[in-house]
Amino acid sequence: MIMSVSLKKVAKGTIIVFIGLIVGMLLAFIGRVIVIRYITQSEYGTFCIALALLNIFVIISTLGLQEGVPRQIAYFRGKNKGRKDYGVVISSLQIALVTAVLFSSLLFFASDFISIKFFHNPELSLPLKIFSAALPFLALINILTAIFRGYGKIDVKVYFQDILRNALFPLFLVVVILLGLSFFAVLYAHVVSIVITCIVFAIYTMKKTPLLKAEKDIDPDPMRKDLLFFSLPLLVAFMLNLIMIWTDTLMLGYFKTSDIVGLYNGALPLARLIPIALASMVFIYTPIIAQLYSQNLIEEIKRNYTVLTKWIFVSTLPLFLIFFLFPEIVLDFFFGPQYVQADIALRILTFGFFIHTLLGPNAATLIAMGRTRLLMWTSLAGAVLNVVLNISLIPLMDISGAAIASGSALALVYLILSIRLYQLSEVHPFTKNYLKSILTSIVLMSVIYIIAKKILEITFWMLPILLILFIVAYAFSLLLTKSFDEEDIMMFLEIEKNTGIDAPRIKGILKRFL
């Protein structure tokens, strides 16, 4: 019964977060396309490097609290220790505000050194100074989101982090274009969108929720040490993950020119769309699994992991199919013919991110179980491999070398995490039905690609038709191989309930093929 309730909670939360992510990423993607088409490729490369450094500094300033806070709040709530979860809330805000201001100042004053000594690009200095002003506001947005996440209030993330922030940036960009302003106005537009989002989010938090209201009998001070002890290994892990995500961009900036960086960052944002379904699920999954773990319900965790991973795989497969099989057409459509040269990089990065989703929410499960140091050491191995491969391959292979480095490191990290998760708790996704789903998809993908390439001259507008054919054939093959479980019916019913879709015929078919 508990497993059923937890699965329903994850399904409902995933739908909400997924919709928010889709809308948010679409808005962010619109902003990115506007930026690419308004400024030069060199300026876009500078923008990407500055944005990468801003994200790195934000992650450092939050000290791993973005994942530590929701886990600790959910864990203490599962143990019925309400006083401690309040201490986590207050302590996290105190820590984050102080460190964010410090790192904002550091980025501002170190901008000249970073630009000249590391990137050999003096023009990067002013963008870094401009972005440094956004750092405390962005850190506060992340911490407030983490607090609400711990209490299962996931809709606020959709409102503020996904929609409001990503909607404001393209709106301000339109003003920049209409006024014919310079490249620096694009940077200011990005900063202002973050500041306004933070202010509105903070006002909402103070007026609409009781989370931050003082309680005289609760002293949050003792929680700062415990919270930092739990979260700091996550900081190291996230920093190392950022190295894997951003090292390719930064190393290309070091070894090559801004033009090459801009070219690579046509492929990278597209590849990062691959784990969107997994990211949607993990947002609500981690606190729910933390509560199950606090009650020692390991069997429920195992079944949740298995069922949810299969659904994430099925949800991710269509997007992977488009990006992996037809990268030239996708790049040409979104960014123009000058970005088609990034087709191999897109294919490699897409495959790396797909391996991540194939293995399921291994990192989130380990965080829920409190294994933050394991995450840290595994991330270290991946980061070292990533740096070594980037240094070795970029001078020889340009953006393809950077893609190989990042894709290989990403796949290695999540493979190690899956192995260790199984060794610790016997949690894994590879049931007979899941393996049948994977093999079926490989066969169908190969057949569709060969037929399409030999018979048709593929354009972007034909991809949706090919995608629909693949989905229909894939669903039919799953029915014939009986690759569904009873929990799949439950998940379908929950999705049906939360989306308003009524599909009795599909339910009847699924039940007959169990």
pLDDT per position as a tens digit, 224-271: 677 777 777 877 777 777 677 777 877 887 787 777 887 888 888 888
Question: Could you tell me if residue 443 is inside a domain?
Answer: no
Q: Residue 35 is part of which domain span?
A: 2-430
Residue 129, classified by CB atoms within 10 Å of its CB into exposed (0-12), middle (13-18) or buried (19+), is middle
Which amino acid is residue 452, in one-letter code? A
Q: Report the pLDDT value the prediction gives residue 489, as an integer from 0 to 100.
A: 62
Where residue 223 falls (left for φ over 0; alpha for ψ -120 to 50; beta otherwise) is alpha
Range in 101-105, 138-142, 232-236 with the lowest mean pLDDT: 232-236
Q: What is the mean pLDDT of residues 116-135?
A: 86
Question: Could you tell me if residue 26 is inside a domain?
Answer: yes
Ranges of H-type helices in 162-275: 165-179, 183-208, 221-255, 258-271
Q: Taking Cα atoms as reference points, which of 184, 474, 455 lies closest to residue 321? A: 474
Mean pLDDT of the chain: 80
Helix/strand/coil for 369: coil
pLDDT band at 221 (very low <50, low <70, confident <90, very high): very low
Question: Could you tell me if residue 189 is inside a domain?
Answer: yes
Tell me the per-residue pLDDT of 345-397, one tens digit each, with 9 for 90 and over: 899 999 989 988 888 888 888 888 888 888 888 888 888 898 899 888 888 88
Q: What is the mean pLDDT of residues 52-76?
A: 83
Q: Which residues contact 8 (CB under 8 A, 6 or more apart)?
A: 490, 494
Q: Taking Cα atoms as reference points, which of 196, 221, 180, 186 lies closest to residue 92? A: 221
Q: For residues 116 and 125, is the Cβ–Cβ distance under 8 A?
A: yes
Q: Report the pLDDT value the prediction gives residue 211, as an integer from 0 to 100.
A: 53
Q: Report the pLDDT value the prediction gives residue 199, as an integer from 0 to 100.
A: 92
Tell me the per-residue pLDDT of 420-466, one tens digit each, with 9 for 90 and over: 999 988 888 887 777 877 787 778 777 777 777 777 667 777 777 77
Question: Could you tell me if residue 246 is inside a domain?
Answer: yes
Judged against a pLDDT cut of 60, whether residue 11 lies above it is answered with yes
Total domain count for the chain?
Answer: 1
Judged against a pLDDT cut of 60, whether residue 61 lies above it is answered with yes
Q: Report the pLDDT value the prediction gives residue 216, as an integer from 0 to 100.
A: 47
Helix/strand/coil for 456: coil
Q: Report the pLDDT value the prediction gives residue 494, as an integer from 0 to 100.
A: 57
CA distance 108 to 152: 36
Residue 320, classified by CB atoms within 10 Å of its CB into exposed (0-12), middle (13-18) or buried (19+), is buried
For residue 204, what are the CA distances in angstroms to 50, 138, 140, 271?
30, 16, 13, 34
Range in 77-91, 123-137, 320-334, 413-427 with the lowest mean pLDDT: 77-91
Q: Report the pLDDT value the prediction gives residue 350, as an integer from 0 to 100.
A: 92
Question: Could you tell me if residue 211 is inside a domain?
Answer: yes
Question: Could you tell me if residue 151 is inside a domain?
Answer: yes
Q: For residues 40 and 254, is the Cβ–Cβ distance under 8 A?
A: no
CA atoms in the 13 A half-sphere facing the CB of 450: 6
Tell me the per-residue pLDDT of 279-317, one tens digit each, with 9 for 90 and over: 878 877 888 888 788 888 888 888 888 888 888 888 888
Q: For residues 323 and 276, is the Cβ–Cβ distance under 8 A?
A: no
Question: Could you tell me if residue 475 is inside a domain?
Answer: no
Q: Taking Cα atoms as reference points, which of 357, 373, 368, 362 lies closest to residue 311? A: 357
Helix 125-132 × helix 183-208 angle, to 10°:
10
Q: Which residues contact 41 (CB under 8 A, 6 or more apart)?
A: 258, 259, 262, 263, 338
Residues shown for the chain: 514
Q: Taking Cα atoms as reference points, which of 334, 348, 364 lies closest to residue 404? A: 348
pTM over 0.75: no
Rounded percentage of the chain residues whose pLDDT exceeds 70? 86
Which among 12-26, 77-91, 101-115, 321-335 has the top mean pLDDT?
A: 101-115
Range in 162-171, 419-428, 474-483 with the lowest mean pLDDT: 474-483
Ranges of H-type helices in 272-336: 276-294, 298-325, 327-335
Question: Could you tell me if residue 470 is inside a domain?
Answer: no
Q: For residues 376 and 63, is the Cβ–Cβ distance under 8 A?
A: no
Q: Report the pLDDT value the prediction gives residue 214, as an integer from 0 to 100.
A: 47
